[in-house]
Amino acid sequence: MEQPGHHLDSITPDEIKSATDELLALVAERLPERFYLRGEAIWRACLTAFIARMAGILESMRPLAHPNRQADALILLRSLYEHLVTFLWLAVDPEPRVEDWYGATMRQRRTVALEALTYGVEGVMSDDQLRAAEEAENLKPLEQRARDVDTFWGPRIEGLYVQPASGAKHLLTLEGLYLGIFRLASESAHATAQSVGPWAREERGDRLLVTLQPRASNLTWSGLAIPLFGMALVIGHERLGWPDEAQVQVINDALGHEQFTSDEGP
């Protein structure tokens, strides 16, 4: 299977760290920001909080821009991808979708609260919250949300890939990256043979050497986090009016990635 961002093996850790710092600086220019929760401010606060959360994930990936730390970087990239897809899906129609997303979140929390009661732990949610959460609906599965994102934002943002009308699907769409990042990273996130494999090395004969230092990877997953977060910032510009889209492009271009440019406003 072709790996997403197949040119990433040519990006150095220093280049990744520099681009990370520059993107984080764009967010730091805006945050903290205070919202008074009424009307439009509710969804604007939610989208802004998503950007802040993704910035935190990107910052955590910064010290992992090393060939020996790519298994850990891939796990964080999986989280970044999930937040990105949900952020872009919310940004399609923010006001109703943020409400649906919050309801689905409370429904999931209700499950935790009910399980906690079996251990004698009370107070996770009030009775009123439990009743309200029971009526909420789950969101579409992540892969379907990614498909919706491709359909809406693909024609509107230059540099985003869209699925062809026929033939093999494109791996670098958001839907394709569900396989190329989210599903692939599950092998590292969970206790599988693939997860522990990099720490075990076959020697001649029937010997296996287990070491503290995993095998180096020539694919720097931390480098793929740059265009993904850049995509979030471009859509942030579309819906929130910040950051400067041109600055995001300059940082992205420095690593040889596709440009993300908007064809129309919100």
What DSSP string describes 3-69? PTTGGGGGS-HHHHHHHHHHHHHHHHTT-S-----STTHHHHHHHHHHHHHHHHHHHHHGGG-SGGG
Predicted confidence (pLDDT) at residue 246 exceeds the cutoff of 70: yes
Residue at 115 is within a domain: no
Q: Is residue 118 part of a domain?
A: no
Q: Is the pLDDT of residue 231 over 80?
A: yes
Residue 74 lies in a domain: yes
What range defines the domain where residue 245 resides?
A: 6-93+140-262
- Report if residue 119 sits inside a domain: no
Look at residue 61 and tell me if it is in a domain: yes
Determine, yes or no, domain membership for 98.
no
What is the mean predicted confidence (pLDDT) over 225-248?
96
Average pLDDT over residues 143-155: 96
Q: For position 7, what pLDDT does the model report?
A: 59
113 is a domain residue? no
pLDDT higher than threshold 60 for residue 71 = yes
pLDDT for res 100: 97
Look at residue 130 and tell me whether its pLDDT is greater than 60.
yes
Assess whether pLDDT exceeds 70 at residue 8. Answer: no
Mean pLDDT of the chain: 90
Domain count, the chain: 1
What is the dihedral angle through the alpha carbons of 206, 209, 214, 217, rounded to the nearest 10 degrees?
A: -30
Assess whether pLDDT exceeds 80 at residue 266.
no
In terms of pTM, does the model score above 0.85?
A: yes
Q: Is 120 within a domain? A: no
